[in-house]
Amino acid sequence: MQKKEIKTVEDYITGSPSNTQRLLRKVRATIQEAAPEAEEVISYGMPAYKLNGILVYFAAYKNHIGFYPTPKGIEAFKPELASYQWAKGSVQFPLDKPMPLKLIKRIVRFRVRENLSKSKSKK
């Protein structure tokens, strides 16, 4: 999908198909609201958010937004994710259905708590 080198999340979004950009911006804003302290980066060519390690990634595809909250992020929300295609560490949110922003926010907050807890236990 992307043609030019991606250095920022804004580069990623503006390099995506125009019909997907609005949804990507909503996902981005939802993640930023749920984890305002997180650092926004590009990792593996995708937008990612870091706070004591990676919290989540997301990416645009032809028919869906891929959301990558790690395997624990999927496991903790399996019942709510049951109506979506998901795998061990990822879920696909179809472009033709409402984006589950409240669920994304809950998953990101879960991942923040998980990463902060891990960093405290290491100290």
Query: Which CATH number belongs to the domain containing residue 17 in this structure?
Result: 3.90.1150.200
pLDDT digits (tens, 9 = 90+) for 37-69: 999 999 999 999 999 999 999 999 999 999 999
- 123 in Cβ contact with 72 (< 8 Å): no
Residue 123 included in any domain: no
**Residue 69 per-residue DSSP state:** -
Is residue 119 pLDDT above 80, yes or no?
no
As for how many domains the chain has, the answer is 1
Residue 120 included in any domain: no
Say what the pTM is.
0.92
Residue 29 included in any domain: yes
Residue 121 included in any domain: no
Full domain range(s) for residue 94? 9-112
Helical segments of 6-69, H only: 9-14, 18-34
Residue 83 included in any domain: yes
Where b means 16+ CB within 10 Å and e means fewer, 68-82 reads bbbeebbebbeeebe
Say what the pLDDT of residue 118 is. 77
Residue 27 included in any domain: yes
Residue 85 included in any domain: yes
